[in-house]
Amino acid sequence: MPAAQESPGRITKISVTGFKSLRDEQSIEIRPLTILAGANSSGKSSILQPLLLLKQTLEESYDPGPLLLNGPNVRFSKMDQLLWHSDGEAQSARTFRVRLATAETSERGLTFTEYEQKPSIVEMTDTVGGESLTLREGMDDAEIRSKVLPRLVRVNESQIAGMRFYVSRDRWRLRVSAPLALPSIFDPTTPSIFPPLLPGLTVIQWSLPVLADEMSEDILSMIHLPGLRGEPRRTYPLAAVGSHFPGTFHNYTASVIASWKEGEEGKEKLAGLAGDLERLELAWQVEATSLDAAQVEVKVSRLPKSKAGGAAELVNIADVGFGVSQVLPVLVALRVAGEGQMVYLEQPEIHLHPNAQARLAEVIAAAARRGVRVVVETHSSLLLLAVQALVAKGELPAGDVGLNWFRRDDDGATRIESGSLNEAGEYGDWPEDFADVELALKRQYLRAAAAHVPAGDDPTPPGH
Amino acid sequence: MTPLRLVIDASVASGADDRSPRQTTRVACADFLFAVRDLGHLAVFNDRLREEWEGHGRTHGAASDFALSWLTSMQSKGRVRRSSLERPDLRWRIPNAAGHHEDVKTMEDDFHLIEAALDTDRRVASRDDKARTAFKQASAKGLVELAPVLWVNPASPSEAAIGWLEQGAPDEPARRLS
């Protein structure tokens, strides 16, 4: 099993139902390198969006309710936009569900519904060691007594005989409540996955937080780089740099590079970043300087490779090709991420020359080898092929790569077919179609061009 | 349809080249490669054949960009098989079985196709009609081990190679080297 899957608390599998085009439950495993591929609007982004919704909700400074719909990572204006719809209203979903597994037998399930056009949480399931506990709105007293209470606390039946338990919703928690308080009935030494939120109150309450602490930490530490990473700028706003990057990462890029001027570790990362840029044949030096308390300037070498004895001529990043400013956040994110940290890259290859796309796979694979969990959404056949080559060369363990192919069925519902590479870098029957498209186009061209092929004795060179 | 392990000569790969002078050959070879892939068959390579495909070859030159894309696709799908069988016992008998002196070199140059075919499903696709004729004659003159090998030329319309593939590449006497 890949190393990244072994650490407790880290999300190893995401399953989503009823969300946008994900009508039926679809899942992806999180491997050291997880690749999401498929046509436009096939649902690639949708599988990660529930995680991004949770991230932006957890990061919000005020209480946004169960889910912050309109945030820096994903933007919705009403709950309806999150739910599966088909032509027939009867087939539309009223809820969506996300299950986040941290091990084979441990996961947290969350079900959200629309309540006055806002998201509302209606069910939580906590599975530990294969045993599940569900809190659901509308659970009756008998169900709570038989299925919930025994998992929560050790109680003396006679002491709770006259009480009526119910599940209530309190912002983003589901809570078991009873109208009377008898704190003495609880044995404080009993391990409980639902500790009383406010012990000693006159109402018995246990609530299940939306996410366990380790899972929250995994989501909060996630680095997200969307496909649109902004125009290159002469200066970037100064941002605080730590191990967590709320919102989308490209806003931190300049500040992170500036922070690497200090300390051995920082200098090592800066040198690594310059090496990555040189590998992509984009630049061989990079630096960022704080101009004042609010702005950072990023400069890169004008030449893609160093010249013997030549000093670097550094120019503002706005003065070089678009590819540099678009890929720089990708490279910095992969360098700044710590072991086990998840980095979600949407189309890291945009604006890159084919050669740089292939080289980018090497940089991504190097990050995965360092223990970063990289999730890549891509349309690049070259990037995928380069990953296959790295596996075949033994430079990336085959089991570290997870392939997920997204397509829409006739009803418009997303289907995900997951696969793996073998040690030869082959993916077998995984329905990757980049090669199909390329071959079909070449065949089409051959057939079309055949009509224009000159006779064998025609000396006119092509293009004349 | 049962997938078959086919030996596809580099001459078919180079035939699909967009620089190939004969447009009918280009289209026929490209269509044949497509059919092999779409029908789920496997491609067999020994080291010599692989070198020829990848551009280190000799007689017919390197595979085309199209053919290499095809090979990449086949490899990615896990539809490439390797053969390492060598038959020095048969190769040694080529001079005695050759109909003409010049056929010896022709057969020696293409004998790796026969070796790979004998190691797998005994099916060869090649544009090299000269080699086919030489092998047929050798088979008749005592190199009988070659007789069960089926040999098709995808660029020859009369051989209807794609139709043959679609029928499951059956063992038809007319296609044998006998």
- ipTM of predicted assembly, 2 dp: 0.78
Q: Is residue A63 part of a domain?
A: yes
Q: Is there a single domain that holds both residue A269 and residue A189? A: no
Spell out which residues of chain B touch residue A438, defining contact as CB-CB under 8 Å: 69
Domain that holds residue A133: 3-32+45-214
Q: Is residue A244 part of a domain?
A: yes
Helix, strand, or coil here: B82?
A: strand
Which pLDDT score is estimated for A177? 78
Of A310, A336, A362, which residue sits at a domain end?
A336
Q: How many other CB atoms are found less than 10 A from the CB of residue A234?
A: 12
The sign one gets for the Cα dihedral B109, B110, B112, B118 is negative
Which pLDDT score is estimated for A390? 96
Which pLDDT score is estimated for B18? 60
Which pLDDT score is estimated for A216? 86
Q: Is residue A107 part of a domain?
A: yes
The answer to whether B96 and B120 have CB atoms below 8 angstroms apart is no
Q: Is there a single domain that holds both residue A177 and residue A300? A: no
Q: Is residue B178 part of a domain?
A: no
Q: What is the tens place of the pLDDT at every residue in B40-89?
A: 999 999 999 998 988 744 444 455 678 888 998 899 889 999 999 999 99
Number of structural domains (chain A) is 2
A376: which strand partners?
Answer: A35, A345
Q: Is residue A169 part of a domain?
A: yes
Place of tokens 């919703």: A169
Rounded Cα gap, residues A280 and A335, in angstroms: 15
Q: Is residue B2 part of a domain?
A: no
Angle (deg, nearest 10), helices A381-392 and A354-369: 50
Spell out which residues of chain B touch residue A385, defining contact as CB-CB under 8 Å: 72, 76
Q: Is there a single domain that holds both residue A12 and residue A119? A: yes
pLDDT of B134 higher than 60: yes
Q: Is residue A225 part of a domain?
A: no
DSSP-assigned letters across all residues of A44-111: HHHHHHHHHHHHHHHH-SS---S--SBSSS-B-SSGGGGB---SSGGG--SEEEEEEEEETTEEEEEE
Q: Is residue A95 part of a domain?
A: yes
H helices of A75-209, in order, are 141-143, 149-152
Q: Is there a single domain that holds both residue A61 and residue A166? A: yes
The answer to whether A78 and A117 have CB atoms below 8 angstroms apart is yes
The answer to whether B82 and B44 have CB atoms below 8 angstroms apart is yes
Rounded Cα gap, residues B43 and B83, in angstroms: 10
Number of structural domains (chain B) is 1
Q: Is residue B145 part of a domain?
A: yes
Q: Looking at this protein, which amino acid is placed at residue B57?
A: G
Interface test with B, best of A387, A401, A438, A439 (most B CBs within 10 A): A439
For B66, which of A422, A426, A442 is closest by C-beta distance?
A442
Q: Is residue A368 part of a domain?
A: no
Rounded Cα gap, residues B71 and B82, in angstroms: 13
Q: Is there a single domain that holds both residue A198 and residue A278? A: no
Rounded Cα gap, residues A43 and A37, in angstroms: 10
* Burial class for A437, CB neighbours closer than 10 Å (0-12, 13-18, 19+): exposed
Residue A424 contacts B, CB cutoff 8 Å? yes
Residue B38 contacts A, CB cutoff 8 Å? no
Which pLDDT score is estimated for B26? 83
> Closest chain A residue to B80 measured between Cα atoms?
A426
DSSP-assigned letters across all residues of A226-246: -S------SSEE----SS---
Q: Is there a single domain that holds both residue A185 and residue A63? A: yes
Cβ–Cβ below 8 Å for A427 and B21: no
Q: Is there a single domain that holds both residue A169 and residue A290? A: no
Q: Is residue B171 part of a domain?
A: no
Q: What are the start-end ranges of the E strands in chain B?
A: 5-8, 42-45, 80-82, 123-125, 150-152
Q: What CA dihedral angle connects A196, A198, A204 and A208, to 10 degrees? A: -40
Contacting residues for A349 by C-beta, under 8 A, at least 6 apart: A357, A360, A378, A379, A380, A382, A383
State the first-to-last Cα distance of chain A, in angstroms, to the nearest integer.
59
Q: Is there a single domain that holds both residue A70 and residue A198? A: yes
Helix, strand, or coil here: A279?
A: helix
What is the number of CB-based contacts under 8 A between chain A and chain B?
58
For A426, which of B65, B70, B78 is closest by C-beta distance?
B78
Q: How many other CB atoms are found less than 10 A from the CB of residue B99?
A: 15
Residue A322 contacts B, CB cutoff 8 Å? no
Spell out which residues of chain A touch residue B14, defining contact as CB-CB under 8 Å: none
Cβ–Cβ below 8 Å for A446 and B18: yes
Which pLDDT score is estimated for A445? 76
Helix, strand, or coil here: A294?
A: coil
Q: Is there a single domain that holds both residue A122 and residue A89? A: yes
Domain that holds residue B113: 7-166
Rounded Cα gap, residues A106 and A16, in angstroms: 16
Q: Is there a single domain that holds both residue A149 and residue A277? A: no
Place of tokens 């997880």: A34
Which pLDDT score is estimated for A187? 45
Of A184, A214, A244, which residue sits at a domain end?
A214
Alpha-carbon distance values, A425 to A199, A301, B127 (Å): 56, 35, 31
> Closest chain B residue to A450 measured between Cα atoms?
B23
Segment B18-32 shows an average pLDDT of 79
Q: Is there a single domain that holds both residue A175 and residue A236? A: no
Q: Is residue A380 part of a domain?
A: no
Q: Is there a single domain that holds both residue A151 and residue A82? A: yes
Rounded Cα gap, residues A64 and A70, in angstroms: 10
Cα angle A410, A416, A417; round to 5: 110
Helix, strand, or coil here: B161?
A: helix
Which pLDDT score is estimated for B59? 43
Which pLDDT score is estimated for A7? 65
A225: which strand partners?
Answer: A345
Rounded Cα gap, residues A27 and A14, in angstroms: 5
Residues with pLDDT less than 70, chain A: 1-8, 87-91, 152-156, 159, 170-173, 179-212, 308-312, 432-433, 446, 449-464
Residue B26 contacts A, CB cutoff 8 Å? yes
Alpha-carbon distance values, A320 to A86, A234, A303, A324, A325 (Å): 46, 11, 10, 7, 8
Nearest chain B CA: its distance from A24 CA (Å): 28
Rounded Cα gap, residues B55 and B70, in angstroms: 15
- Residue that wins the pLDDT comparison between B45 and B16: B45
Which pLDDT score is estimated for A310? 62
Interface test with A, best of B42, B68, B77 (most A CBs within 10 A): B77
Of A336, A368, A399, which residue sits at a domain end?
A336
Nearest chain B CA: its distance from A363 CA (Å): 22
Cβ–Cβ below 8 Å for B18 and A438: no
Q: What tokens appear for A172 in the block?
A: 């983003």
Which pLDDT score is estimated for A172? 63
Cβ–Cβ below 8 Å for B78 and A428: yes
Helix, strand, or coil here: A396?
A: coil
Which pLDDT score is estimated for A196? 44
Residue A446 contacts B, CB cutoff 8 Å? yes
Rounded Cα gap, residues A416 and A402, in angstroms: 12
